[in-house]
Amino acid sequence: MNADSPTPDDAYSHSHSHDGGGWSAWPRTGMLQAVLVIIACCAVATVFGIIALWPSEEGRQSVVSNADEMGLVTDRLSAVVTDITDGPCSYSTADRPQPCRMIFFELHEGPNKGQILSLPEFNLAQDRFTDRVDPGSKIIVGYEDATDFYFYADRDRRVSLAWLGALFAAIVIGFGRLRGFLALVAMASTLAVLVLFVGPSVLDGNDPVLVSVVAAAAIAFVSLYLTHGFTPTTTIALSGTLAALALTFGLSWAMFEIAQFTGLATEEALILPFLSENINVAGLLLGGAVIGALGALDDVTVTQVATVAELRRHNPNLSSTELTASGIRIGREHIASTVNTLLLAYAGASMPLLLLFAVSDQSLVMIANSELIAVEIVRTLCGSIGLIAAVPVTTALAAAVLRPANHDAEPQDQSDSASESLSSPEKDADAPASAGLDRPPRWEDFAPDETI
């Protein structure tokens, strides 16, 4: 067969099939073999970790029982407001009149479904959230079975959230097609790991740091392989993610020990020790830092592998050193725009807290020293260091495996003609760099799958 003629295997490889276009080359790629061994060991360790730490539900049931005794467990029922009346409070006096609001509602579920009931009176001088409740508003009421007491819990926004979720899914699938659908499945699997494994396992008394590390590894495996396919390129991105995650964990652990965080700086954290003596609240902070850094890490590593693969596709004869240097130069721009990601994510979730500190009349250094802020600073800086480290690590791994086009060329073999055709400008002008040729298999580019 002519060296210029694509073989069926080459044509299949060029279609970006889900075999990755590169597994056939792995026996001749020492770096890829080493990465596969490490990834396999991490996968086995993750599976064993999940099995060993899988919750038994005994700890969760005990915590729920304790919370119920403390009055923290109540039913949540949907209802609709039927009428609102304003008038003097029942405790008003002529000397000190107090305006109050009575809210009547119809229950849509629960033992008193269909009945018209009322909430305790709201003092309008103190309870501002009731100003936005009108007749016809859908609300969530809490119900304490022991006292047969109903109270206002929240607005019922489930329908609007469902519509937003449907819109998001439609946009993701419409743009990404099958790849977008797989991304949604990966998101659902991440949520399942957090809800079904992390929370119940910590409540069982397991070390929250160990649980978070195992959960982060499991999320990385499932989300990357499910979204991007079981390919060598995804494997390199996964290895870079795990390496950077390990660095982030090490730095965060050291800083948490040095700073001596207690984990008791929030109201929620103060309640946890009363619910279960086995919960390591400080460990929860560290575990949260590890899981929080994962989302940005896999974005950086996948992008770097895609960048290196695209550079290799456009210039198959770049040396690994040149490829690494080019990839890192591009990665610098990515990091420059990503370094604020974690800071903005943490700060955006704490805007009311930032306002309280703004009016506290304390110096910036003293505010930073408070545990609430110091924890976010440590998370941000350690996570950002992990992001920066992910660029050279992932780029170097990808460049080491994505070898030059003539790397495997052997004298007196068809590979020589393949190399000559690759270096021929005339033939390169008629076919893309990754077009099928009689040559040893190489990695294909990391562009989106044209067949999806």
Mean pLDDT in each 10-residue stretch from start to end of the chain (452 residues)?
A: 41 36 56 84 93 83 74 84 89 86 89 88 75 84 83 89 95 90 92 90 87 93 89 88 91 87 72 75 84 82 87 83 85 74 66 69 76 81 86 87 58 38 38 42 42 42
Q: In the prediction, which pLDDT does 163 show?
A: 96
CB distance 434 to 11 below 8 Å: no
Q: In the prediction, which pLDDT does 43 show?
A: 93
Collapsing DSSP states into helix, strand and coil, what is residue 98? coil
User: pLDDT, tens digit, for every residue of 118-131?
Assistant: 888 888 877 766 66
Q: What is the pTM of this model?
A: 0.72
Give 298's Cβ-side CA count (13 Å radius). Answer: 23
User: pLDDT, tens digit, for every residue of 247-261?
Assistant: 989 998 998 888 888
Alpha helices (runs of H) in 70-207, residue ranges in sequence order = 158-192, 199-203
| Distance of alpha carbon 47 from alpha carbon 242, whole angstroms | 15
Dihedrals phi, psi of 272, to nearest 5 degrees: -55, -45
Dihedrals phi, psi of 95, to nearest 5 degrees: -80, -35
Residue 382: Cβ within 10 Å count: 25
Q: In the prediction, which pLDDT does 325 show?
A: 86
First to last CA, the chain: 30
User: pLDDT, tens digit, for every residue of 69-83?
Assistant: 766 778 889 999 999
Q: In the prediction, which pLDDT does 440 show?
A: 43
Query: Which domains, and CATH codes, for the chain?
Result: 30-55+170-401 (no CATH), 74-156 (2.40.50)
Q: What is the DSSP string of 25-64?
A: GGGG-HHHHHHHHHHHHHHHHHHHHHHHH---SHHHHHHH
Q: In the prediction, which pLDDT does 352 show?
A: 67
CA nearest to 55, candidates 192, 196, 188: 196
Q: In the prediction, which pLDDT does 12 show?
A: 33
| Distance of alpha carbon 90 from alpha carbon 96, whole angstroms | 12
CA nearest to 375, candidates 278, 271, 273, 292: 292
CA nearest to 229, candidates 149, 280, 302, 120: 302
Residues ≥6 apart with Cβ < 8 Å to 4: 421, 427, 437
Q: Tokens for 253?
A: 């652990």
Q: In the prediction, which pLDDT does 131 show?
A: 60
CB distance 84 to 75 below 8 Å: no
